[in-house]
Structure 1
Amino acid sequence: MSDIKLDSTRTAMKEEADDLERSTLSSSAKDLHSIETQQKNLAEKYGIREKRLQWKIDLCVVPALILLYFAAFLDRINISNAKLYGMEDDLGLQGNQFNIALTVFFVPYVVFELLANYLAKLFRPHWCFSISIFVFGCATIGCGFVKSFGGLVTARIFLGIAEAATFGLIFYILSSYYTPRQAQRRFSFFFSSTTLAGAAGGSIAYQIYNGIGNKYLANWRWIFIIEGAATVVIAFLLFFITPDFPETARFLKDNERIYLKEKLQLYSKVESGFDVHFTWRDYLPLLRDPIFYANALAYMGLVVPSYGYAYFATTIIKLLGYTAVSAQQHSVYPWLVAFGYINIAAFVSDYVQNRWCFILSSSLIAITGLAMILGSDDPHVKYGGCFVSAMGLYSAMPALICSTSLNLGGHLRKSFGTGFQIGFGNIGGIIATFLFLPTDAPTYHRGLGTSLGFVALSIACQLFIVIYLKRLNTKKSKPDYVTKFEELPRREQILRGDRAPGFTYML
């Protein structure tokens, strides 16, 4: 009899849980339907054709940012191609000097990332972008004329300072234009430009090797000069085409700006706070929020193996028995496969409205690929591991950054959160440059093993973020939290952004 009663109790509890889940899903569906109805009413009110405006935003925002970062990423990783063609010998680099040249790029990058986001609020982003990329291009050209280790380090420092105004600011702007249902495929399509830059970098270097013969300049110098000159030209174009924040975007009409602002507020249920002036002092309380550190550590755990791959994949492939030129060709293919996977995963993520499932699964794919390279002596398995690693790493990163950006409400927290995540996370770039040392070739056991550990760290932080945000959603729904929040001054409520009771974190 007791067994029958126990089974009956379990059945009743299961039915109750199922009813609660259906009720929650039903409530969520009703909320979404209500928001979509209000959005249609807004469109009619301001005379907006939603699909036409969405196409306009996509065409004016995403391609310009892709072009910007394509140029920046290409100039960032071309030093690995130059290394293949004799840069170390020509400059007389010894010991870890090449790794030091890689490292100095990230030091100013970490320091200036948050500052760049702050300045973008004071000065228009298109000014920040175009000046940054112009300096970036000039510094890259300078790399082509350096005569010593000191000259290379100096040029790389200027590269790091210049790029500090790009990556974090890009995601800050992207998250200001799109709703949670639209964002992931835009973020990932943008981020996939890094994989194309990786593929293009190898292809361009290959063409330079075959197409340029000059007794005055070595071929590796032409990699920097040609790509740097192209970046300088792009910088002038970026001044006219890169977007500002929606509130001041040059390509939007007045009614479109108002509509977009109110539409985004419908989904986030908090004000953007663009018109509220904030200073560095307003950043200080945010340093006590654990979510920013968890986001940054999760990102850093992916940055370490990602930069390790970007800088050293061609060298690893060459050590498998290919010549420098053949290694350059074979390094292109994993980037192209990663490009396709990133965008497919992003469309599915937006369709099912789930982020963390894809972040975690992509991280596990990355671990599989790194383990293939580390654990096998078969060159074909190692090369296959390059494909799997690139797919996992470069799809997990945009999904993580997208989730971070969309789970931050208001300009203050978006500005700080994106800058802190990218800046602090790029400490991983410093670590990565010393993981794959020449003394560890050809197996690179230390570098690959450490990379596996950092991906595991990222997964642990991802799980913490999911649990923490779920608890915050529950906490913010309680009456005492709502009462305390409503007692705050109006400015404080706006600056707190996603901590408002109406904001629901995506899980």
Structure 2
Amino acid sequence: MSKNNPDPSITTDFEPGKTDTSHVEFSANSRLDKKQRRKLKWKLDWFILPLISAVYFFGSMDRSDLANALIAGLEEELHLSPKDYSNASSMFLVSYVVFQLPGTLLIKKIRAPVQFCGAMVLWGLLTVLTVLVKSSGQLIAMRFLIGAAEAFVQGGAFYLSFWYEYHELATRSAIFFSTSTLAGAFNGLLAYGISKNLDGTNGWRAWKWIFLIEGILPIGFAFVVLFFLPASPSEVRHGFSEIEKEELIQRSERCHNSSEARLQPKKILELLMSIHFWLFTVLYCVSLFTVSSLSNFLPALVHGFGYSSIGAQLFTVIVYACACLGILFFSRIADKTNARGLTVTLSSIGGIVGYAMLIGLENRDARFAATCIVAFCMYSKVVLVLSWAAMNFIGYTRR
């Protein structure tokens, strides 16, 4: 694939004859000078990026709360076997995968703020209702429904591609995706505080308080998203002048975004015949597998090293902090060098080294350090692959 341009072998949705200026920051048609364009980009960084990142933050909290709840009394009270927990974790991912494609394809049809708000309210309610489950079967069913609801906010990286040009996308996607590590760290702190102070309060074990609190938070923030997040650059409502709106639309067009909300099934079929699509799919699935397996079992893994249950909740914060630094580090390298394939390779090698240490070492502290290395290297792969794909698959339907 070309280092600076989308893959020339992939046909596109944009108008024939349009010049590809996606990798060029300056446009001759711009009515803004360099300082004004920089100011506009800062507005995006301080308005659009925090809002969509917050959506992903709350979604990531909900994905990792089951792992924290497991060692906070859930396993004992519901009499969960390792197989039961594995099934609950897997069922979440099953519905997440099944509903992610329609959830992403419908962003422009439903409109991003409405879709994201609705999804947050739904999974928040389902998370709160998890306190009522009495058996492993009920837990598995509830996690399936929560995964389906959360799938409708996983188009956040796609939504970012409406606003940022190619040379800006990896760093902003890194900030967006790093909220998943911040959410994991916040979950660890929250679970630590709940386990220490609320376990047994009103007759509830700590795991129920975890689900209750983490279900209420996204419901409250959902309405902030509904009222303040614009659906597209052409529909910004607050804080942008008319000239800035015009520039936002031009930026989006330079990245081959179309204003049409209509899906084109023919182009979906064409994409399914592309070898590049399947290579990216395999790469993304492998990346997501390593991240999901780590987040689903991290508290139990750290607990297995020999730390106490409450201490394990706290030590997960360190692991997620390392993951956050890794995402920002590797993504910045990708944006600066534009060597995205090489950056993915380097992060993969680091992850392999970490896993080898985790398997081969027996010392408690050394194994914890290996876990930090794995998180530092492997979490970055997901955002690297997603931003790389956004640069190569151009047009609304393909993205």
SS of 1:321's equivalent? Answer: coil
SS of 1:273's equivalent? Answer: coil
Q: TM-score, normalized by length of structure 1?
A: 0.70
Equivalent residues of 2:330, 2:347 under 8 A apart: no
The gaps in structure 1 that reach 5 residues or longer are 1-30, 415-507
1:188 correspondence with 2:174: yes
Q: How far off its partner does 1:203 sit?
A: 0.7
Relative distance call for 1:233 and 1:48 in structure 2 (3 A) is: same
Deviations 1:444-485 (A, max 9, x none): xxxxxxxxxxxxxxxxxxxxxxxxxxxxxxxxxxxxxxxxxx
Relative distance call for 1:37 and 1:173 in structure 2 (3 A) is: closer
Q: How far off its partner does 1:387 sit?
A: 0.8
Q: Of the candidates 223, 226, 246, which is equivalent to residue 210 of structure 2?
A: 223
Q: Of the candidates 227, 246, 257, which is equivalent to residue 245 of structure 2?
A: 257
User: Which one has the largest radius of gyration?
Assistant: 1
Rounded to whole Å, the distance in 2 between the matches of 1:34 and 1:76 is 35
Equivalent residues of 1:43, 1:50 under 8 A apart: no
Specify the alignment match of 1:98 in structure 2. 85
Number of residue equivalences:
378
Specify the alignment match of 2:383 in structure 1. 398
Deviations 1:140-163 (A, max 9, x none): 111122112232122112101111
Deviations 1:204-248 (A, max 9, x none): 000001221414211111000011111211112221233322233
1:179 correspondence with 2:168: no
For 1:263, the aligned partner's letter is: R
Deviations 1:32-59 (A, max 9, x none): 89955534x51349x9921221111112
Q: Give the 4+ runs in structure 1 shifted more than 4 A.
A: 31-37
Rounded to whole Å, the distance in 2 between the matches of 1:346 and 1:244 is 26
1:336 correspondence with 2:321: yes
Relative distance call for 1:37 and 1:295 in structure 2 (3 A) is: closer
Q: How far off its partner does 1:389 sit?
A: 0.1
Structure of higher RCO (CA pairs closer than 8 Å, 6+ residues apart):
2
Deviations 1:280-303 (A, max 9, x none): 454222211121111111011111
For 1:314, the aligned partner's letter is: P
Q: Of the candidates 79, 104, 108, which is equivalent to residue 66 of structure 2?
A: 79
Q: How far off its partner does 1:87 sit?
A: 0.7
Deviations 1:344-382 (A, max 9, x none): 332333223332221111111111111110112222221
Rounded to whole Å, the distance in 2 between the matches of 1:222 and 1:193 is 22
Q: Of the candidates 11, 27, 30, which is equivalent to residue 38 of structure 1?
A: 27
1:125 correspondence with 2:124: no
Following superposition of structure 1 onto structure 2, how do residues 328-477 of structure 1 map, counting pairs within 5 Å? Answer: 328-414=313-399
Relative distance call for 1:148 and 1:176 in structure 2 (3 A) is: same
Equivalent residues of 1:48, 1:256 under 8 A apart: no
Following superposition of structure 1 onto structure 2, how do residues 478-493 of structure 1 map, counting pairs within 5 Å? Answer: none
Relative distance call for 1:217 and 1:274 in structure 2 (3 A) is: same
- Answer with 208-217 or 98-107: which moved more: 208-217
Relative distance call for 1:242 and 1:378 in structure 2 (3 A) is: same
Q: How far off its partner does 1:121 sit?
A: 1.9
1:247 correspondence with 2:234: yes
Q: Of the candidates 288, 291, 301, which is equivalent to residue 286 of structure 2?
A: 301
Q: How far off its partner does 1:92 sit?
A: 2.4
For 1:206, the aligned partner's letter is: Y
Q: Please, what is the CA RMSD of the aligned residues?
A: 2.3
For 1:193, the aligned partner's letter is: T
SS of 1:129's equivalent? Answer: helix
1:209 correspondence with 2:195: yes
Rounded to whole Å, the distance in 1 between the matches of 2:396 and 2:169 is 17
- Answer with 93-102 or 170-179: which moved more: 93-102
Following superposition of structure 1 onto structure 2, how do residues 17-166 of structure 1 map, counting pairs within 5 Å? Answer: 35-36=24-25, 38-39=27-28, 41-44=29-32, 49-94=36-81, 96-166=83-153
Deviations 1:291-325 (A, max 9, x none): 11111110111112211111112212212211101
Equivalent residues of 1:143, 1:155 under 8 A apart: yes
Equivalent residues of 1:295, 1:404 under 8 A apart: yes
The gaps in structure 2 that reach 5 residues or longer are 1-19
Relative distance call for 1:95 and 1:400 in structure 2 (3 A) is: closer
Relative distance call for 1:262 and 1:378 in structure 2 (3 A) is: same
Q: TM-score, normalized by length of structure 2?
A: 0.89
Deviations 1:253-298 (A, max 9, x none): 44333322323444x4xx4232373344542222111211111110
Rounded to whole Å, the distance in 2 between the matches of 1:76 and 1:351 is 31
Equivalent residues of 1:192, 1:343 under 8 A apart: yes
Relative distance call for 1:284 and 1:358 in structure 2 (3 A) is: same
Rounded to whole Å, the distance in 2 between the matches of 1:314 and 1:350 is 33
- Answer with 99-108 or 342-351: which moved more: 342-351
